[in-house]
Amino acid sequence: MLKSGSYVVDDERPVLVAGGDGCIISQNKSARRLLGPGTGKYCWNVVRELDGAKRLPCRQGCVMELIASGMDTSQDTEFKLGGETHKLSCTPVNGTVVSMLSPMRKPADKLMEPLSPREQEILLLLADGETTSTAAENLGVCESTIRTHVERMRSKLCVTTRAALVAEGFRLGYLE
């Protein structure tokens, strides 16, 4: 979890989906905790009300402008919240705009300690599509040992799923 000012943002990034008219049609739990219930309200009103946020580009009609600019356009804006830098990414998708808030962490801050050689070995097996049982069989260890390594890696890389673990492994250079 990341604490930002008086807000707590889970590892799950706050996500909003606004329809073509700018009204929020969906939001995940993390967005509800951070912004309050927003379904049926204009996206720019809900996000702009984020207490303590500075430099947000949200304004009346911004959703419609982004949709009109096309599917290849995305708007990424860094802003301050509780003294920390965050990013608001708004992307048009099939007549809607998906907006995600995320902390801007430095890679060194995000990865507090490197993966051990054994964790890297298990990460490679996961990237190759191995399951817990087949990875355990390949390495001659118990399935619980594999699960323990996976949980430690997820914690070290600040991710919540195995797919995200593999993606972050590629991004950080553990996998080629």
Against a cut of 0.75, is the pTM above it?
no
Asked if the model's pLDDT at residue 5 lies above 50, the reply is no
pLDDT band at 8 (very low <50, low <70, confident <90, very high): very low
* Per-domain residue ranges of the chain: 2-103, 108-171
In words, the CATH class of domain 2-103 is alpha beta
The tokens of 144 are what?
């619980």
pLDDT in tens, 55-112: 788 889 999 998 888 766 778 888 877 777 888 888 888 889 888 888 765 544 444 6
Annotation: CATH topology of 108-171: Arc Repressor Mutant, subunit A (1.10.10)
The tokens of 147 are what?
């699960």
Sheet strand arrangement including 84-93: 24-27, 15-18, 96-103, 84-93, 75-81
CB-CB contact of 124 with 116 (8 Å): no
Strands 7-9 and 2-4: antiparallel
Asked if the model's pLDDT at residue 4 lies above 60, the reply is no
